[in-house]
Amino acid sequence: MPNKGARPSPPTQTDVARLAGVSRTTVSYVLSNNTSVSIPEETRERIWKAAADLNYTPHTQAQRLRSGKTGTITMLYPWDDVSTQIELEFLTGAARAATEEDYFFNLITAPISEQSLLNLYRGRQTDGLILMQVRLHDWRVELLRENNYPFVLIGSCEDNTGLSFVDIDYETAIFTAFEHLAELGHQDIGFLTFPARWRHKGNTAPVQCIRAYEKACRHLNISAAVREVPYSVEGMYQGFIELLDELPHMTGLVVSYAATLGGVYRAAFDHDLRIPDDLSIVGIAGEASAGLLAPALTGFDSQNFERGYRAAKILLRMLQSDDFTPEQVFLPFELITRDTTTHPRTKQGQQGHAPS
């Protein structure tokens, strides 16, 4: 006896073919919009009506696999330090773009070998990649170019000829941050930036940040010190204390990322430094997180969601076009003045000017 509690099986193409009075192969051609075979319009209409009557839903992923496409894009976000955090806005931006185009979205965080990278394409695990943690000279870029596989960068290389990417100009932003503090009158300015090992590996953003720091030291009338710290709250905390030891009269601070800025706020509190009265801070942070900090951070919007979204959209255009032209996007940077910057106190302990 049939199990009365069992759910009925979903209709198949065989069921549609039986109701329409045609072969299952003909149904497959019609429902996949395959125009390589001539099928009378009357037959096509009868098949679509049968599918509607049966409430048949095509298995999209199976169709894509048969066509040689997976309908999937993948973000490579290598993260070899489990003590740190991945910035989720990159992922949600890319995932949103993929969903809008009816694509699946995958994330890989483990380091990847050359063979594993190629196998993502050859094994039909993905149609295209978004690369993060990009280096000035990135072996992944060279390998994918050599094999003519579709990919987009969040970041940029030293030589971007023929590449598609979405990036922000870290070098200009960090120099502008130093310049802003110097214009307010700060002379002793510290800098907390990405881990040194990232720079030693050639990661583009950390290299650009140190270039900006060195430029500020050359061109601005300031005393400055830098610490390349672990990407963690504890790393920020310890780095700030070391800067205070080197620059005991430090009144300004630049940070190249604000995901772990809580370490600075805590260290300032532990040393009886009020923000911005005793310490002005400029940094790069997502607009939402910058506004949630107390006091709200003066700085630049990192645009993480936008970078993820735009990179995925470029990749999808690349996958869907027969004549794709590389797209290179530098998102605009604008200094947003909030509550963490003001003029330094005078020697008499009085505020020189109103907050700016």
φ and ψ of 254, to 5 deg: -115, 135
Mean pLDDT across the stretch 185-201? 95
Does the global pTM surpass 0.85? no
Q: What is the pLDDT of residue 351?
A: 46
DSSP 3-state percent helix, strand, coil across the chain (nearest 5) = 40, 15, 45
Partners of residue 281 on adjacent β-strands: 253
Q: With pLDDT > 90 as the criterion, what percentage of the chain qualifies?
A: 63
In this predicted model, what pLDDT tens digit does every residue of 89-117 receive, in sequence order?
Answer: 899 999 999 999 999 999 999 889 999 99
Whole-angstrom distance, CA of residue 266 vs CA of residue 262: 6
pLDDT digits 0-9 by tens, 111-152: 899 999 999 998 888 999 999 999 999 999 999 999 999 999
Mean pLDDT of 212-222: 96
Tokens of 74: 């993948």
Query: CA torsion sign, 135 to 264 to 86 to 197?
Result: positive
